[in-house]
Amino acid sequence: MTQYQATVLLAMATLLTAPLAAAQSQRSAEKVLFEDDHIRFVEVTNWPGTTTAPAVPYSSVLMSDAAWPVVQEAAVDAAAGSTEHSQRVIPRDNRPYPWCQTRNPVGARTVTVKGDFPQHYFRIDYKRIDGTDFGANWQTWYPGVFGPAAKVVADPGKKLQAGKPFSKEWPYDIGYSAIVSAPANHTMLYEDDHIQLLEVAIREGEKENMHGHPYPSVYADDGGFAPAGAVYKNATLGPDVGPPWGKMTADPSASKFPLCFSAVPEAPHEVSVVKGPPQHFYRIHFKRVDGEGIQSKWRTWYPSPK
């Protein structure tokens, strides 16, 4: 083999392997944390550089508790159209995190993070939107959820009022936490050191045990939070300051789902379903709020696979 032939073969090999190397450098930044026949709960991390993000064929609720880098998205297939988001909404006291927004189905796209820290958020994809059909179909869709509770505990009522405050923001005994004091209505679908994903369900004629939510949170609703014809009442141990959330992404009466809203930690309370349909939605607790800290701590929290 001549030097010329060797050079040509090397060049051809380089051309043939280049697409493979490029494909290997592209990685999925999405991790499914929970999935059933109704929803898919996904953690998304896009590290500095360019990542190919898969198509999401469902309407979604996006939520984040972290600072946002400079990000540019481009559709892989121009025919897929542009991504449509709702406005971002924040808690009632105007703290910047956590925020949430809704998004329509979206095609595959490239995501370029131009900053020096990653884009990080969570997403609930709705495989089915209950919408205004919730009232007529909840028994079919949720036979297990609205059946007999898997775990029932005694109602703590006001017994824990003299307990040790959990935090400055939530000055109540941790025994009032929803998953401890009201497990009949709060099912933990996923938990790690950062978040908790709860499914909230209150049956017809039922009153929850006294409980609260010690962390900032995001509500995600596709029709069961305030269905037509339902009558709910709420009693609270804390100051009667109204709902813990701020603005909603959509007016529930407009029948536009999914919708979401962000909330401050909520004082112990108990909701009663005086008249059906029952109540059903998802609530995501942020045990840790990344905030601006992601800029310096991301290598520990979300190390790049590179």
Same domain, residue pair 142 and 281? yes
Residues 235 and 281 in one domain: yes
Q: Please indicate, yes or no, if residue 228 is contained in any of the structural domains.
A: yes
Q: With a threshold of 0.85, does the pTM exceed it?
A: yes
Q: What is the CA radius of gyration of the chain?
A: 23
- Per-residue pLDDT of 103-120, as tens digits, reads 999 999 999 999 899 999
In this predicted model, what pLDDT tens digit does every residue of 235-286 receive, in sequence order? 999 888 889 999 999 987 788 999 999 999 999 999 999 998 999 999 999 9
| Residues 223, 136 within the same domain | yes
pLDDT over 80 (residue 61) = yes
- Of 127, 160, 190, the residue at which a domain comes to its end is 127
Sheet hosting strand 59-64, strand order edge to edge: 30-35, 39-46, 119-126, 59-64, 99-103
Give the three-state DSSP class for 106: strand
Instruction: Record the tokens describing residue 306, joined without a space.
Output: 């590179």
Q: What is the pLDDT of residue 6?
A: 42
120 in the same domain as 137: no
Bond into 96 cis (ω within 30): no
pLDDT for 306 equals 67
Q: Collapse the DSSP code of 135 into the 3-class scheme (helix H, G, I; strand E, B; otherwise coil) and give the result.
A: helix
- Structural domain boundaries, residue 44: 25-127
Q: What is the mean pLDDT of residues 23-46?
A: 83
Q: For position 3, what pLDDT does the model report? A: 44
Q: Is pLDDT of 26 > 70?
A: no
Co-location of 175 and 118 in the same domain? no
Q: Are both 272 and 204 inside the same structural domain? A: yes
Return the percentage of the chain with pLDDT > 70, whole number.
Answer: 89
5 domain residue, yes or no: no
Side-chain half-sphere exposure of 111, counting CA atoms within 13 A: 27
Say yes or no to pLDDT of 4 above 60: no
Q: Let me know whether 143 and 155 are in one domain.
A: yes
Structure confidence at residue 77 as a pLDDT band (50, 70, 90): confident
Whether residue 274 is found in the same domain as residue 152 = yes
**In 3-state terms, what secondary structure has residue 304?**
coil
Residue at a domain's end among 127, 146, 176: 127
pLDDT for 38-49, tens place per residue?
A: 999 999 999 999
The pLDDT assigned to 225 comes to 97
